[in-house]
Amino acid sequence: MPEEIPHLDRETLKQWSTLSYPALVTELCSLFIDPELMPKKDLKGLIDQAFSRFRHRDVVHLSRLKNGLNVLELWHGVTYAFKDLSMSCAGQFLQYFLEKRQKHITIVVGTSGDTGSSAIESVRGAKNIDIIVLLPLGRCSKIQELQMTTVIEGNVHVFGVEGDSDELDKPIKDVFADVAFAKKHNLMSLNSINWSRVLVQMAHYFFAYFQCAPSMDIYPLPTVEVVVPTGAAGNLAACPDAAWPQLQQSSSRMLFSEPNW
């Protein structure tokens, strides 16, 4: 990890503006991941593998509507949730380091619907990872419930629980609060504030900006207004506002989009 948040100059932005989405994610992640921990060649391979199951050739697609409004389609992953973008990479990163260190972990996830299925798809079949997902019975859409309960893999364990997603978070927090227990069983989670997820989600904003901005040679750079429908604000928290003030408000507008189950 860098000692301070990287700041990007105009020349870097210009170079990044022509990259594919996977290449952009690679460049962005390489600013934060020490090449001694993960060589850039390995990083690129993991990211390409993570996005290999996406249905759209560009992984992420910007649809241009009327009056300067654009919609960034984040739903081309396996489960149709925007979380597939970051979760698929997080799963690849985890497997890489676990194999390198010959360790095993158990991921514990509570879900209100889309997090559970996305987390499952990111690590299904991984030999160094078991995943336990708690889903609130009767409170997820049918398709979300089926996405979680029909995965037949030895490392996937899904349990229906009573109460809503906020209520099921309590026992999960209690488990992690028992430090000795969590350490003994190598427990971790993949929630909205997991750094690997936030890191990958930063690419949404850069990619969208490059699609909306006419040129990186304009001075000052044009601004883009971003509207993010969000629950826990994990996606919103990834907006690199401090490093790139152009992503604030302007005449160009963009809406992040995912299915409404």
Residues acting as catalytic residues:
83
Residue type, 38: M
Q: Give CA–CA dist 216/14, Å, rounded.
A: 5
For the chain, give percent helix, strand, coil, nearest 5.
40, 15, 45
At 204, is the secondary structure helix, strand, or coil? Answer: helix
Q: Is 67 left (phi over 0), alpha (psi -120 to 50) or beta?
A: left
Residue 260 Cα distances to 35, 60, 190, angstroms:
39, 18, 22
Residue 256 Cα distances to 34, 149, 175, angstroms:
30, 28, 34
Sole residue written with tokens 């990834």: 238
The residues with which 160 forms a beta bridge, in sequence order, are 135
Sole residue written with tokens 């949730």: 81
Q: Give CA–CA dist 69/63, Å, rounded.
A: 9
